[in-house]
Amino acid sequence: MTTDADTPAYHYALIARALREIDSAGPGLGLDDLAARIGLSPAHFQRTFTAWVGVSPKRYQQYLTLDHARQMLSARHSTLETALEAGLSGTGRLHDLFLRWEAMSPGEFALGGAGLTIRWGWFDSPYGPALVMGTDRGICGLGFAAEMGEEATFADLAGRWPAAVYARDEAFLRPWALAAFGGGANADTALHLIGAPFQIKVWEALLHIPEGQVTTYSDLARVVGHPKAVRAVGTAVGRNPISLLIPCHRALRKSGALGGYHWGLPVKRAMLAREAARTGM
């Protein structure tokens, strides 16, 4: 007989709780104490956490520090301009996964999504409940509800294209969602970028940052040809509608501080820590 504790939703909720506990307590929280807070034996918790996050709780904690982000920034931050000039896109999972993307024309964007049918659905992810939206061309929106809740997350994304028609359709989106969260590595996942031309230019630059590396808003501003427009670049990064897949979480302040994140700073920390642990950075 299947119990609630056997379902993916249960495990995702459990891991989301664990990530919040780690984020709140910092790297000093031991495995026994962490498992006790979650209500599992240390061995059971270790197995479950490693299966879902991809690394052990201890290794995850090692990377969950602002100091590590600063070290990445000073020693290995993405050489974005060099990569673009050389025509390189990096070797991270993102670049193997997303084989194409299309952008809406400025005229279409100005219509606020009029004439578009946007399908949407909720899916489990390593960062809690994830809202995926897509058109016939590809994923156009991805947000996380762990911090703001499902209702507010939906309103946030749908409010960007107020004239579109919205239809719930998990079946249509599932192959893309599975690929996005690591369950369909061979899927041909498309992105449909819906934004102003400057925003799309910034989002395209973000796609060149390999997994496990970070960049700065200043670097992005230089790459898109507007070196003095750091604030505008930061705004464009914050308005990225396809979180995780267009990796705005890899953009940091020049000081090495993490800066903000639209879906909550704990989610950004978790993404960077998981990527750094997975790539060994």
Which domains, and CATH codes, for the chain? 4-64 (1.10.10), 71-113+147-163+195-279 (1.10.10.10)
Q: Is the pLDDT of residue 56 over 60?
A: yes
Per-chain mean pLDDT for the chain: 81
Residue 208 three-state SS = coil
- Cα gap 258→280, rounded to integer Å: 20
pLDDT of residue 89: 43
Binned at pLDDT 50, 70 and 90, residue 96 comes out as: very low
pLDDT digit string, tens, across residues 13-47: 788 788 888 877 766 778 899 899 988 899 999 98
Q: Which of 169, 189, 163, 161 lies closest to 177, judged by CA?
A: 189
- Burial per residue of 245-271, b for 16 or more beta-carbon CB atoms within 10 angstroms, e otherwise: bbbbbbbbbeebebbebbbbebbbbbb
- Cα gap 30→11, rounded to integer Å: 20
Within a 10 A sphere around the Cβ of 93, how many other Cβ atoms? 16
Binned at pLDDT 50, 70 and 90, residue 2 comes out as: very low
Q: Is the pLDDT of residue 241 over 90?
A: yes
Decide if 140 is catalytic. Answer: no
| Catalytic annotation, pick one of 34, 38, 157, 248 | 248
pLDDT digit string, tens, across residues 134-187: 999 999 999 999 889 999 999 999 999 999 999 999 999 998 998 888 754 445
Q: Which of 202, 260, 249, 207 lies closest to 226, judged by CA?
A: 202
